[in-house]
A and B are shown apart, each in its own frame.
Chain A
Amino acid sequence: MSGRDRTDGATRASSRPPTDHAGLEVPAPTVAFSAEQLGEVRRLQGLYPDRRAALLPVLHLAQETFGYISLEVERYVAGLFDLTPAHVHEVVTFYTMFFRAPKGRHVVAVCHNLSCHLAGAPAIVAHLQGRLGIHVGETTADGRVTLQSVECLCACEHAPMMQVDDRYEFGLTPEKVDRILEGLR
């Protein structure tokens, strides 16, 4: 579970909210990158005239590693950049892709902007909420899916569409949504 592990497994395991055997939340382990990841941090910092520019890439790496950007992660990353935690907090709270609380194993983000709206996005959102039994912004009790409704993902030619983790899913119908959900474990 610890971010110190260097395997990919650590990445996946820690992207879930930490729970103990009884399913209760336990405090997250102290965050730290592996030696290899620290090398990557330094490489990223070296790519730019000012190493602060690597903050977004490193926060992406941190989110992959620790599952979400907790305050503790912010503090840790601030230390890697000689920034104050407040400066990192400003950045983390500004962008929509950084999760500040544990998220599901999969993130389903439905576009609700104009073209998708015209193609029935509200109904797709309603369908997803019904199927998953959660509202937009929530995560299923089993930690499987976090549902979001987002601004234009710039694939409006395939409206209505959504992003599932790294993938774009196009031309949604309730049936297609069901098939996609089935594939999410």
Chain B
Amino acid sequence: MTAEKILTRNFERADSHTLTAYLETGGYTAWQKAQTLPPAAITEEVKQSNLRGLGGAGFPTGTKWSFIPKNHTGPVYLVINADEGEPGTFKDRYLLERDPHALIEGMLIAARAIRSATGFVYVRGEYVEPYRRFSTAVSEAYDAGYLGKGFDVVVHRGAGAYICGEETGLISSLEGKKGWPKLKPPFPAIKGAFGAPTIVNNVETICHVPHIITRGAGWFASLGTKTQGGTRMYSVSGRVRRPGVYEASVAITLRRLIDELADGVTGNGRLKAVVPGGASAAILRADEIDVTMDVDGLRNAGTMAGSAGVIVMDETVSIPEALMVVARFYAHESCGQCTPCRESTGWIYKMVRRIVEGRGRKDDLDTILDVARRGAGTTICAFYDGAVGPYISYIEKFRGEFEALIDGAGARVVATPASRAATAHA
């Protein structure tokens, strides 16, 4: 079930990012084929493939494309979300650096499907090298005549704000504003970037498209589960022997991912908890990892596939401290636009920090849970629900650890080989 490598097949080649290498491995032939297909047929093929968005929300890609109003005559934009920022996720960085032409080819095909003449690729500001690699590939594609004939690509750099990964925050940012997510409705497919119908897709999602066109929807669908086709790239980090990016079927179990691909748990070797889909996914206990990694599998397990950023924690990890780190992230990254998120992310971080620092109060845990539950679902964008996932799951599943800290019984469990060494040195 680890399947063949599709997106990552060229990653071992030192020159995988060049046009030459891409053409040698069959690059741009899917685009040749797509040009013979009517746009609606491309969308239909992608629908049949069961490709689902790999940026976080897991929305069926072909269905999303079909939301572009049929009789629309003005411009339509294709926007690629390369603002990778979900903690624990690093797959798009690899794709931009090691296979940029796959993204360009996928964009050409997607643009044909949605009748777009302009694509924007929004690369997170800190990704300087991926930005350069991808920009070079775009120049190559212009020189080779793939771009500039009915479809143009503009590569855009962000400037440091996690919320610009949220698709409407990204659109605001692309428009030259602060990255405040927009109210929905209207949805981007109706009124998105610059007021025009817009499709936002993740880098990895679009990189799959050429293969679907070449090898067919049936093949792609067969790689996954009933409701989600294909492989995806798992970013595995934390306390594992071999952290890194692994491509595997969406139907792989979390246990196999950790044990077989990432070569097992380090630290004390015993698993305590895993975050399966980036920081915003609810945490799973060691006994909850026999789940498949597809969107529905993880949803049924009470968490989410998100960006497939897997963060592994062994028994020596302090869950309250982990939550403090995560809560700090949400407090720092809340865009501040809507009240529940703006006001409570900061407050919850203050409470969790207090608990970790040994100044917790008896009612803190219930307050955090209550505030998080009350705020869930009331905000402009899904950022806050993404914060609520960890707030609630870390506390509910590891309440004892928090209570121990509040009762003063819990010594701080931070020890890691690296930090011990470093502390000794400092």
Q: Do chains A and B touch in the complex (CB under 8 A)?
A: yes
Closest partner residue, chain A, to B321 (CB atom): A117
Interface size grouping (class) on chain A: 35 or more
Report A58-94 CB contacts with B as 1/0, cut-off 8 Å: 0110000000000000000000010000000011001
Taking the closest CB of chain A, its distance from the CB of B64, in whole angstroms, is 22
Interface hits, A1-59 → B, CB 8 Å: 47-50, 52-57, 59
Given A151-B332, A156-B237, A159-B243: A52 in contact with B322 (beta carbons within 8 A): no
Closest partner residue, chain A, to B75 (CB atom): A49
Q: Are A156 and B157 in contact, with the CB atoms below 8 A?
A: no
Closest partner residue, chain B, to A131 (CB atom): B426
Q: Which residues of B contact A152 (CB under 8 A)?
A: 85-89, 279, 329
Q: What's the dominant secondary structure at chain B's contact region?
A: mixed
Closest partner residue, chain A, to B418 (CB atom): A120
**Cβ of A160 < 8 Å from any Cβ of B?**
yes
Q: Are A114 and B311 in contact, with the CB atoms below 8 A?
A: yes
Cβ-defined partner of B325 (8 Å) among A52, A91, A113, A163: A113
**Cβ of A127 < 8 Å from any Cβ of B?**
yes
Q: Are B175 and A156 in contact, with the CB atoms below 8 A?
A: no
Q: Are A120 and B93 in contact, with the CB atoms below 8 A?
A: no
Cβ-defined partner of A90 (8 Å) among B178, B329, B417: B178
Taking the closest CB of chain B, its distance from the CB of A86, in whole angstroms, is 12
Report B399-419 CB contacts with A as 1/0, cut-off 8 Å: 000000000000000101111
**Cβ of B385 < 8 Å from any Cβ of A?**
no
Instruction: Mark the stretch among B19-27, B125-133, B207-215, B345-353 that contacts chain A.
Output: B125-133
Q: Which residues of A contact B177 (CB under 8 A)?
A: 52, 55, 90-91
Q: In the complex, A53→B414 CA distance in Å? A: 44
Q: Which residues of B contact A157 (CB under 8 A)?
A: 90, 235-237, 243-245
**Cβ of B60 < 8 Å from any Cβ of A?**
no
Report A164-185 CB contacts with B as 1/0, cut-off 8 Å: 0011100001100000000000
Taking the closest CB of chain A, its distance from the CB of B372, in whole angstroms, is 18
**Cβ of A103 < 8 Å from any Cβ of B?**
no
A-B contact pairs, 17 of them (CB 8 A): A50-B194, A56-B159, A57-B157, A95-B159, A114-B329, A118-B322, A118-B416, A127-B422, A127-B426, A152-B87, A154-B84, A154-B87, A156-B238, A156-B243, A160-B418, A163-B126, A173-B422
The chain B residues found within 8 Å of chain A, CB to CB, are 75, 84-90, 92-93, 118, 124-129, 154, 156-162, 173-179, 194, 196, 235-239, 243-245, 275, 279, 309, 311, 313, 317, 321-322, 325-326, 328-329, 332-333, 335, 414, 416-419, 421-423, 425-426
The chain A residues found within 8 Å of chain B, CB to CB, are 47-50, 52-57, 59-60, 81, 90-91, 94-98, 109, 112-115, 117-120, 122-124, 126-127, 130, 151-160, 163, 166-168, 173-174
